[in-house]
Chains A and B, each alone.
Chain A
């Protein structure tokens, strides 16, 4: 990204090849979450708060491992916990790190009316610019993952930035750095896809998770946050991950055809009124006719 122009091409007096010489730095970034190795330690939650400078929120104990019921404007990253009984009667704890998915076709951005409040970087990060946010929450309407959260006090909407400030400086997101099990990975989308498919194949071949797979929903053009799931056929079990997320059809209609129909109707109405005036002119009354 920003360091692309500073990629080392040659090094003086250096034995061997230049490190990373042939790797492409012009990539789409991607976070890969292998839920099969997540232990629910919440180091990512803490790292997220620390990097973004938010205080720890009040937790809500619901007799499970979940920190609180939902994400919040100052809590971008939450481990979703679910006690799951499979069809064969086996019981498991499902933990999923929930945060913005950084869709390639972001519904939030499509819905947003404020100039510059949501930007999508060429590396795939979708970022909210609070200084341009008007607090209308259309992004909440557009998001199929229930991610953007409203701060009622400042009237601004917040969500995971994929640590655009860190990634822009060549660092990995804070959550990645904090993960102790290596369940979080970060790199180019191609590399992460490759890694994810390998891991899913490994699960299918060597464990009982015969339907393990990679979650990279194409309904939103693919995402820059992917999951490896034990059971790709039942993403809903992981704290309500939608099976086939789409930007709501009504949002597309609202932001597409309705806009053009409306624009044409308004302009047509004004033109028709002017044409009518030219054709028929104003009404007259006896008095005015006399004078």
Chain B
């Protein structure tokens, strides 16, 4: 524990990783929404025009996936679901209602965060695979033309699932759990925060048996 009662939570590398995926995802989200609905097509105009958005959307998408792989190499151990996590998930309603007392202690990430992580990880993979078909539809022979709309539907569906996760993620980190957003920005959390939300991790990293 450092002097000011703070605990380092995210390294600089982890924070860069996070914000790069956030940037790439947000770009794909905004341009994707523009292609998704005529009512949101203005977003593409704001971001430099429809053709520009169409050119960059898949490139940012590949970038998102690449950084997600990097993130995976760093975080996959921390993200493994444990039996404690499963018990936590059973009591998720209590967590949502701010009745945290009875919840099993979490390690570095709680089960909700892990769920979000795996949702985005597999979501990124699904978006990449389906997106590749949409990127180069001219290479799909006409006899296999049914693949094109199938991939488009799967791409949009996968995107909608990640958007669901994204809404929850932003809501929780910015509003619901004060201290998370600053942790991802500056890397530190207060000892009280660490104890309250990630007791196992706090005990493990600070060596304070609790």
Q: 12 A-B residue contacts at CB 8 Å?
A: A113-B50, A141-B137, A248-B145, A248-B146, A262-B160, A265-B164, A273-B175, A276-B171, A277-B176, A281-B98, A282-B176, A287-B190
Give the chain B neighbours of A262 by CB distance below 8 A.
36, 156, 160
Interface window among B63-71, B113-121, B147-155: B147-155
| Stretch from A39-47, A94-102, A182-190, A253-261 at the B interface | A253-261
Asked if A150 is an interface residue, CB under 8 A from chain B, the answer is yes
Tell me if A115 and B164 are in contact (CB < 8 A).
no
Complex: A283 Cα to B146 Cα, angstroms: 49
Complex interface residues of chain A between 256 and 291 (CB less than 8 A to chain B): 258-259, 261-263, 265-266, 269-270, 273, 276-277, 280-288
Q: Is B81 an interface residue (CB 8 A)?
A: no
Residues 3-39 of A, flagged 1 when their CB comes within 8 A of B and 0 if not, give: 0000000000000000000000000000000000000
Say yes or no: A250 contacts B152, CB within 8 Å: yes
User: Would B146 and A250 count as touching, CB distance under 8 A?
Assistant: yes
Contacts of B192 in A (CB 8 A): 285-288
**A122–B4 Cα gap in the complex (Å)?**
73
Binding site for B on A (CB under 8 A): 113-115, 132-138, 140-142, 146, 149-150, 152, 155, 240, 248, 250-251, 253-254, 258-259, 261-263, 265-266, 269-270, 273, 276-277, 280-288
Stretch of B12-20, B37-45, B82-90 lying at the A interface = B37-45
B3 within 8 A of A: no
Q: How far is the CA of A142 from the CA of B193 in the complex (A)?
A: 53
Name the A residues within 8 Å of B197 (CB-CB): 283, 285
Interface size of B by CB at 8 A reads 49
The SS class assigned to the B binding surface is helix
Residues of B62-112 contacting chain A, CB below 8 A: 96-98, 100
B41 and A282 form a contact (CB under 8 A) = no
Contact residues, B182-199 vs A (CB, 8 A): 190-193, 195-197
Let me know if B96 and A276 touch, CB within 8 A.
yes
Q: Is B11 an interface residue (CB 8 A)?
A: no
Report the 9 A-B pairs with minimum CB-CB distance, sorted nearest first.
Answer: A287-B192, A250-B149, A134-B50, A273-B171, A141-B148, A285-B196, A134-B54, A269-B167, A146-B142
Residues of B within 8 A of A285 (CB): 179, 190, 192-193, 195-197
Residues on B close to A: CB < 8 A?
Answer: 5, 34-38, 41, 44, 49-51, 53-55, 96-98, 100, 134, 137-138, 142, 145-146, 148-150, 152-153, 156-157, 160, 163-164, 167-168, 171, 175-179, 190-193, 195-197
Cα of A136 to Cα of B96 in the assembled complex, Å: 41
Is the Cβ of A254 less than 8 Å from the Cβ of B51?
Answer: no
B36 in contact with A259 (CB, 8 Å): yes
A250-B146, A265-B163, A280-B98 given; 6 more Cβ-contact pairs under 8 Å: A115-B50, A136-B35, A136-B134, A138-B152, A152-B138, A240-B142
